[in-house]
C-alpha cells in the first residue's frame, strides 16, 4: 500500500498558557486532502490545538509549546521559520464569519495584494476564481463593490473561506465554521468543505457529532487536553477503541 502524504506530523506536543498545561503529549498525523475533525467537550483544547497549526498562539502572551511539530516535513516552530508564509499556506476560518468592513472585491484582493500581486487583471481573476470555488460568484458578481457586511451569515462565511483561498493555501483550519449558521447555510458550507477537500487539506473543529460523522475522513477525540483516540471517522464512530470515546459520541457527557 502507498504511504499517504502527511501534511502535519505532531509528536509529543505540550502547550502551556503560563503555568496551565492546556495540551498534553499530543501525537497526530494530518494527511493531505483529508478532512480531519477535532471533537471533544468544551474546554478540552481543540481550538488551542488548531491555532497552534498556523502559529496563531504566538500572539498569546505566556503561551509555550514543546515537542516536535512538522509542516510539510519542516519544523515550523524553528525560530527562522517564515511565519507570514505559514499563515498564507495554512489559512483559518472562524466560528463567526468576520469579513473585513470593505467591499466584497477588496476582501478577496487584500491578501494577494499583501503578498505582492499588483496587476488589476490578475486580482480580478483571483476574485472570480475564489468566489466561483465557494459557489458565490453568481450570487454576488453584480455587487462586488458593495460592502461585504451586507451579506447573509452563510454568504459571509463562504466569503471568508474564499478569502482564505485567495492566497493559495495548502491547508484550511476551521473552528466550528457552521455553529453560527442556520441549517440551510450549514448544509451548503458542509457541501463546500467536502468539495474543497479535493484540492486542500482541511482540519475542522466541530462539536456537532453528526457533522463530524458526515464530512470527515479522520477524527481525533480530545479530552482534558489529551487526544484519547484518533483514526478513521468510520471506525471512531462505529467501533471506538477507547470507552471514553464511545461515551462521548453516544452523548453520555460533554
Ligand X SMILES: Nc1ncnc2c1ncn2[C@@H]1O[C@H](COP(=O)(O)OP(=O)(O)O)[C@@H](O)[C@H]1O
Q: By the criterion CB under 5 A, which residues form the site for Mg ion? A: 47
Q: Which of 106, 176 has the CB closer to Mg ion?
A: 176
To ligand X, the closest distance from the beta carbon of 76 in angstroms equals 19
> Can residue 94 be called a binding residue for ligand X (CB under 6 A)?
no
Pairing of strands 74-75, 90-93: unpaired
Pairing of strands 90-93, 63-71: unpaired
The residue within the footprint of ligand X, chosen from 8, 13, 46, 213 (CB under 6 A), is: 46
To ligand X, the closest distance from the beta carbon of 225 in angstroms equals 7
**Burial class of residue 238, CB neighbours in 10 A (0-12, 13-18, 19+):** exposed
To ligand X, the closest distance from the beta carbon of 236 in angstroms equals 17
User: In the range 219-238, which residues lie near ligand X by CB under 6 A?
Assistant: none
Produce one character per residue of 144-159: b if its CB has 16 or more CB atoms within 10 Å, e if not: beeebeebebbbbbbb
> Can residue 44 be called a binding residue for ligand X (CB under 6 A)?
yes
Q: Which of 47, 57 has the CB closer to Mg ion?
A: 47
To Mg ion, the closest distance from the beta carbon of 175 in angstroms equals 6
> Can residue 157 be called a binding residue for ligand X (CB under 6 A)?
no
* Grid coordinates given for 197: 477537500
Q: Which of 6, 46 has the CB closer to Mg ion?
A: 46
Residue 226 carries which DSSP code?
A: E
Produce one character per residue of 167-192: b if its CB has 16 or more CB atoms within 10 Å, e if not: bebbbbbbbbbbebbeeebbebbbeb
> Can residue 17 be called a binding residue for ligand X (CB under 6 A)?
yes
Q: Give the position of cell 505582492.
A: 116
Phi, psi of 207 (to 5 degrees): -105, 15
Q: Which of 20, 253 has the CB closer to ligand X?
A: 20
Sites of contact with ligand X (CB under 6 A) = 17, 20, 22, 40, 42-48, 60
Amino acid at each position: 500500500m502507498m504511504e499517504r502524504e502527511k501534511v502535519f506530523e505532531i509528536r509529543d506536543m505540550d502547550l502551556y498558557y503560563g503555568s496551565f498545561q492546556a495540551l498534553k503529549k499530543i501525537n497526530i498525523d494530518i494527511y493531505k486532502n483529508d478532512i480531519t475533525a477535532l471533537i471533544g467537550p468544551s474546554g478540552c483544547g481543540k481550538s488551542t490545538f488548531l491555532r497552534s497549526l498556523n502559529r496563531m498562539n504566538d500572539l498569546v502572551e505566556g503561551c509555550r509549546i514543546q515537542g516536535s511539530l512538522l509542516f510539510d516535513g519542516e519544523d515550523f516552530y524553528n525560530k527562522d521559520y517564515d511565519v507570514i508564509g505559514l499563515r498564507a499556506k495554512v489559512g483559518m476560518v472562524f466560528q463567526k464569519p468576520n469579513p473585513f468592513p470593505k467591499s466584497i472585491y477588496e476582501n478577496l484582493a487584500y491578501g494577494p495584494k499583501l503578498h505582492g500581486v499588483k496587476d488589476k487583471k490578475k486580482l480580478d481573476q483571483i476574485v472570480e476564481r475564489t468566489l466561483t470555488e465557494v459557489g458565490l460568484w453568481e450570487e454576488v458578481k453584480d455587487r462586488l463593490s458593495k460592502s461585504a457586511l451586507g451579506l447573509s451569515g452563510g454568504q459571509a462565511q463562504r466569503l471568508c473561506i474564499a478569502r482564505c483561498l485567495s492566497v493559495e493555501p495548502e491547508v484550511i483550519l476551521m473552528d466550528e465554521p457552521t455553529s453560527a449558521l442556520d441549517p440551510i447555510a450549514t448544509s451548503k458550507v458542509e457541501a463546500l468543505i467536502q468539495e474543497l477537500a479535493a484540492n486542500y487539506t482541511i482540519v475542522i473543529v466541530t462539536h456537532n457529532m453528526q457533522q463530524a460523522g458526515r464530512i470527515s475522513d479522520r477524527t481525533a477525540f480530545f479530552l482534558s487536553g489529551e487526544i484519547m483516540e484518533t483514526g478513521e471517522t468510520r471506525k471512531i464512530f462505529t467501533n471506538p477503541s477507547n470507552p471514553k470515546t464511545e461515551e462521548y459520541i453516544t452523548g453520555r457527557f460533554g
